[in-house]
Chains A and B, each alone.
Chain A
Amino acid sequence: MLPRVAMAITLLALSAPAAPQQPAAPENTAMAAGTGQPRSPRNANYRILARLDPSARTITGEEVISWRNISNRATTTLQFHLYYNAWRDTHSTWMREEALATGESHGAIEPEDAGSIDIAEMHVTQTGNESNLSSRLRFMAPDDGNARDRTVVEAPLEAPVQPGETVDIRIRWTSHVPRPFARTGAIGNFFFIAQWFPKIGVLQDDGWNCHQFHASTEFFADFGTYDVQLDVPKGWMVGATGREMARTEAAPDRTTHRYIQEDVHDFAWTTSPDYMERRARFEHASLPAVEMRLLLQPEHAGQEARLFASTRAALRYYGEWFGAYPYRQITIVDPAWQSGAEGMEYPTLFTAGTRWLEPAGTRDLEDVTVHEAGHQFWYGIVASNEFEHAWLDEGLNTFSTARVLEQAFYPAYYSRRYFGGFFPLVFKDLPLTRDVDGNRMPSYRQFAESDAQSTPSWRYWPGSGGFITYDKTALWLGTLEHMLGWETLRRILSTYYERFAFKHPRPDDFFRIANEVSGQDLTWFFDQVHRTSNTFDYAIELETPDEDASTVVVRRLGEGVFPVDVRVRLEGGQERRWRWDGRDRWTAFELAGHARPLSAEVDPEHVLLLDVNRTNNSVSARPAARAAANKWSLAWLIWLQDHLLTYGFFV
């Protein structure tokens, strides 16, 4: 037995943070990691030392941010995101918005489930002089004035940072890892750690762009090099943004993993003793090879082929269509059940999402994997502002995902889960389509008028913002594809990718490129789909008052205006077509002297994917509604009879 004093000393040593060395300031050049020419401005570079205590769920960290002012204005303050404070209590803007979105207020957050991030010290080294800003820090709420929100902190400087000038900011902080919120946190031995460190905002020519954390939007940050050392319990596997450059024994029971990645704007990581590691390689005749690393939950063993195939498909098709994936590796994280971490993207790392029973026909696994892998392009590389223009990454990516799924994984089918959601059943009679299901018309339809897309994303109604961001964009891009042809749309997207890789584009940048590449002024289209909340709904009627004359009446029921074709099929196989500019509330086409009409359709090629009511787009002289209604009501009758007999259990 050890003497008591010796034991106390030993315990103290074990419990003390084992990150005694301070991180050196990162080098603000392309040569920092020996990679040659920088792809991005690399104006926000981080060196981080972090130690995870899994039992206390705390991270003690120290970072040095080497930040260069790349705007054209001097700044007298610095602003930082402290995202984990969104879950400190129920008074944060995130929690308030979440309550609005769900219609239920979250009960008090238990202390062990709360998230928090507390800055212990902040020093800024500016033109060789170091100043301690710790006592000057003040929380601010630039978006909603919520005095109880602590997700943005401002540090007034002693002297302005001039354009082009670099400062080093040394911060010591502690984070408490929450029970998962917004796809970050810990459950059991599974840790998925994102938005976990003090992160500098983006200084633009018009000032700081450093929004509070909102429930329906994500992030925005400058590019840089991240050099991060993660001290975790020995034996715990780690996956993180970037490449693992070193692994050292920090203590007998601790291991430090060092990850470095250049030209990224965020850093996320995961650790757990339960992961299984799998590796594969993406190879392509005209695209650079990529090492794929999969951290798999043991209960999902056997699904690695599908996860790799989905990632491969994303790297291949996004690469072929838009531009190559520029990094050497990608990490796929298969999150633990109930971690709430599935389906999230970070640079060079993303979380997929699958279930223990995941039949192939559902394609849910492929959908989420392709989507998150696709975010490497739309978000990771083309880094638009997700607080303000979330559609630029989520919408483009939803459209792209649907296209990849159609290319690589269709047919896919409707499925439903039973008995607590554990048992899936695939309905092979109900195939999904890209135009409707992939581009998510059913969910868009429900919230089509909730917000104009041009509204800053963080101001969308929290419960429906996602539908305007993801679904509406995918639908109008699909409409553009039908209007302009895939090759033209592909060139628009690849030009946008090429010009704005490692930059922060805005909506007008996209619209300008669309006009330029298509050779058309599409402003009328963007005005409607982006700048209004109008919906599109065209309908058609066929009036046949006598045998020799028929009239086709086309109506515009929605506020949205779109030029449409009208097609009438006549007896004898003839066909008549008209083009209507779609502006008036209605128009009519006479069919005098022609053969009798069999059917009429407005927008027969389904160009306008945003049309919220497809059923009224056509009319038949020989309606089959009765036969259809008979059939389906009889099928439903079987369900109802079975329902009665099931509840007959009680008598």
Chain B
Amino acid sequence: MTATTAFREGMRRTNGAPVLLAGMCILTLLLALPLALALRAMLEAHLGSSLVAEQVASRADYQWWQEFLFQAAGLGTTFVPSIIGFGAVLRNLDALLDNREMATTIAGVTTGWLLIWSFLSGGVIDRLARSRRTRAHHFFAAAGVHFWRFLRLGIVALLVYSFLFGWVHPWLFDDLFGRLTGDLTVERTALLIRLAGYVIFGAVLIFFNVVFDYARFRIVVEDRRSAIGAIAASWGFFRRHFARVIALYLLNGAAFAVLAAAYGLLSPGAPGAGVTMWIVLLLGQAYIVGRHYLKLVFYASQTSLLQSALAHADYTAAPAIEWPDSPAAESIANANPIGP
């Protein structure tokens, strides 16, 4: 299977799992919503009965915004002007790539989201690997079965990512970048060095990301129990199918770039009032749905690439989980004189 075929297959499988997509979107929304409500209360309290609220309700009022930020604490400090429109996308990418600190509340919800997603991803991958409908109980059973394996894998991943962001990133972008550009007088050259830094760090990051991703897929598809064994098997797969794996990763990356660019082009920026406000907000949510969709395509396409390379294409080792009947059903069955 080529990378393009795998990508198309990933789209096909994701298209066939609309409930999964909706569930993931709702999960993210539900996790983010309490903080949004908390922020809403802060904004409302700050505006009180002021006339300024009328302007703030109808447009972006930068002068009020700065006043709010001056008085804000905790979560309120994350309500910054650069969340508007495409700025939000750049801000988040910048925060990730430049390893910026998060507000405590945001770090908390991010950790929660990662844990829940880790739990659910067993079910998600299982669903996408089977490429056919599964019931809710099957989905959650798969999630439960794989969670502890994923947790062990996650600990290894956490150690690796902590090393990358805690040591390699500062070394690369603070120490080395500082040394290489310290005497530069041409900004363009420094920019090229910075970009080279992103490429190097990105390559290392992608390498580990790919290894951990395929380890996760192998755990589900091959019903592996050992996280270390899965990582080793993933590494073997990566080595054997290097070009296709990377090409698929880049295809997925390109799909995200296209989505982000489309949002950047279409997003009108700050929400105004009335219909335009709803258009802006809905466009934002459409973009968020698109991101979820691509996340699932990412999973599905990589899973299908892995499956295509196994002895039996589309093979999923773990049998469909059969739940035991309830004690009541069992006793009824046992009481049946005709019984089997």
Contacts and interface: CB of A to CB of B under 8 A. Distances in A.
A614 B52 contact: yes
Interface in A596-651: 599, 601, 613-621, 623-651
Contact of A356 (B177, B191, B281, B292): B191
A625 B53 contact: yes
B62 A432 contact: yes
B208 to A, nearest CB: 10
Nearest to B119: A651
Contacts of B49: 542, 619-621, 623, 625
A416 B51 CA distance: 28
Contacts of A637: 29, 32-33, 36
B117 A634 contact: no
A223 B35 CA distance: 61
A338 B185 contact: yes
A446 B43 contact: no
A442 B169 CA distance: 33
Interface stretch (A67-75, A185-193, A210-218, A379-387): A185-193
Contacts of A161: none
A428 interface: yes
Instruction: Give the residue among A631, A640, A648 with the most B Cβ atoms within 10 A.
Output: A640
B43 A633 contact: yes
A237 interface: no
Contacts of B154: 651
Interface stretch (A318-326, A417-425, A451-459, A519-527): A417-425
Contacts of A613: 67, 71
A419 B95 CA distance: 8
A643 B110 contact: yes
A188 B41 CA distance: 53
Interface string B148-192: 000000100100010000000000010001000111111110110
B89 interface: yes
A336 interface: yes
A297 B277 CA distance: 44
Nearest to B44: A629
Interface in A436-456: 436-437, 441-442, 445-446
B239 interface: no
A551 interface: no
A286 B127 CA distance: 80
B47 A629 contact: yes
B46 interface: yes
Chain B interface size range = 35 or more
B54 A429 contact: no
B204 interface: no
Contacts of B288: 638, 641-642, 645
A446 B281 CA distance: 33
A614 B78 CA distance: 21
Nearest to B121: A651
B246 interface: no
A463 interface: no
B50 A619 contact: yes
B66 interface: yes
A338 B181 contact: yes
A337 interface: yes
A576 B46 CA distance: 27
B295 interface: yes
Contacts of A599: 51
A304 interface: no
B87 A427 contact: yes
Nearest to A446: B70
Contacts of B62: 414, 430-433, 437
Contacts of A414: 62, 81
A595 to B, nearest CB: 18
A106 to B, nearest CB: 15
Given A430-B60, A625-B44, A338 B82 contact: no
Interface in A276-335: 297, 299
Contact of A638 (B88, B96, B114, B183): B88
Given A419-B194, A644-B113, A633 B39 contact: yes
B48 A623 contact: yes
B225 interface: no
Contact of A615 (B64, B78, B209): B64
Contacts of A556: none
Interface in B184-240: 184-188, 190-191, 194, 198, 209
Contact of B186 (A299, A621, A625): A299
A336 B277 CA distance: 44
Given A337-B185, A430-B60, A615-B48, A425 B98 contact: no
A488 interface: no
A274 interface: yes
A339 interface: yes
Contact of A632 (B35, B56, B94, B188): B56
A629 B43 contact: yes
A633 B281 CA distance: 10
Interface in A335-368: 336-339, 355-356
A648 B89 contact: no
A59 to B, nearest CB: 20
A634 B281 CA distance: 7
Contacts of B140: none
Given A629-B40, A646-B96, A650-B161, A337 B184 contact: yes
B180 to A, nearest CB: 12
Contacts of B157: 650
A422 B195 CA distance: 10
Contacts of A645: 28, 288, 291-292, 295
A193 to B, nearest CB: 15
Contacts of A442: 66, 70
A628 B316 CA distance: 51
A601 B54 CA distance: 14
B117 A648 contact: yes
Contacts of B44: 625-626, 628-629
Contact of A188 (B36, B88, B185, B291): B185
B91 A628 contact: no
A443 to B, nearest CB: 10
B86 interface: yes
B194 A624 contact: no
Nearest to B79: A636
Contact of B57 (A419, A445, A624, A638): A624
A446 B96 CA distance: 29
A274 B185 contact: yes
B36 A633 contact: yes
A189 B97 CA distance: 32
Contacts of A626: 44
B278 to A, nearest CB: 9
Nearest to B48: A625
B57 A631 contact: yes
Interface in B253-305: 269-271, 273, 277, 280-281, 284-285, 287-288, 291-292, 295
Given A187-B185, A636-B36, A637-B32, A647 B41 contact: no
A615 B52 contact: yes
B251 interface: no
Interface in B1-48: 28-29, 31-33, 35-37, 39-41, 43-44, 46-48
A630 B42 CA distance: 11
B84 interface: yes
Nearest to A619: B49
A190 B185 contact: yes
A617 B51 CA distance: 8
Given A188-B184, A420-B191, A636-B83, 6 more contacts: A419-B93, A619-B48, A624-B56, A640-B32, A647-B110, A651-B154
23 contacts: A337-B184, A337-B186, A338-B182, A338-B184, A416-B87, A418-B94, A419-B194, A420-B177, A433-B62, A613-B71, A615-B47, A618-B50, A620-B53, A629-B44, A631-B57, A633-B43, A643-B106, A643-B110, A644-B113, A645-B288, A645-B292, A648-B117, A651-B114
Query: Considering the complex of A and B, which 5 residue pairs feature the smallest CB-CB distances, nearest first?
Result: A336-B185, A633-B40, A429-B270, A638-B284, A625-B47
